[in-house]
Amino acid sequence: MKKKLLPLLILAWIILFSAALATAASNVPKKKQTVLGLYLTAKDAFSKWHVDADKVVVLDVRTPEEYIFVGHAPMARNIPLSVLNQELTAEKRRPVMELNPGFVSQVKKDYKITDTILVMCRSGGRSAKAVNLLAEAGFKNVYNITDGFEGDSVKDPQSYFNGKRVKNGWKNSGAPWTYELDPNLMYQP
């Protein structure tokens, strides 16, 4: 009887685990989804790093300017996915961002493809792109921190915080962050 029950229990566990993953992925906005399907909130990412800091790394893919002037997680290595080119887009009057051509090669230089890497940007979009590039390069255990460092914008015209990034994210989650710079973690092209 026990021999027949074990395969059924294993099958039930696989079905429930798959359903849980599908549900988690369906709650992630499309622009923050990745081919690997590995997601964490900033709060959960800090917990995962804190429990196993020797085996889990935090990668910040924001520009060096964001990393320096907005702040960063004290353990986060900065390798920007994109860099500013000092122009403004005509339609939105925002800086033009160009893909950092050395992004994947720098990550490969610093980490093994078997490492557990938690990737963060401002709010989860660029980090999703970074995860996809790393997956294409052979990395398998790369998580997108879906709310990023600053978090998502409040979308409530009645709120004083409308448009401000105070909703979630590393900086708002109680996880440690700093402006102090460690040359060993900073991007130096």
Which CATH number do you get for residue 146? 3.40.250.10
- The position carrying tokens 């004083």 is 160
Does 84 fall in a domain? yes
Integer Cα distance of 184 and 189 in angstroms? 13
Does 1 fall in a domain? no
The model's pLDDT over 139-187, given as tens digits with 9 standing for 90+, comes to 999 999 999 999 887 788 887 777 777 789 999 999 999 999 999 999 9
Does 189 fall in a domain? no
Res 2 pLDDT > 60? no
Report the domain count for the chain. 1
- The position carrying tokens 């804190």 is 50
Contact 59, 107 (CB under 8 A): yes
Average pLDDT rounded to a whole number, residues 110-126: 97
The model's pLDDT over 70-116, given as tens digits with 9 standing for 90+, comes to 999 999 999 999 998 877 677 767 778 899 999 999 999 999 999 99
Token duo for residue 146: 């879906």
Contact 56, 111 (CB under 8 A): no
- Report the mean per-residue pLDDT for the chain: 87
The model's pLDDT over 33-84, given as tens digits with 9 standing for 90+, comes to 999 999 999 999 999 999 999 999 999 999 999 999 999 999 999 999 999 8
Its domain, for residue 133, covers 31-172
Token duo for residue 120: 């963060």
Does 18 fall in a domain? no
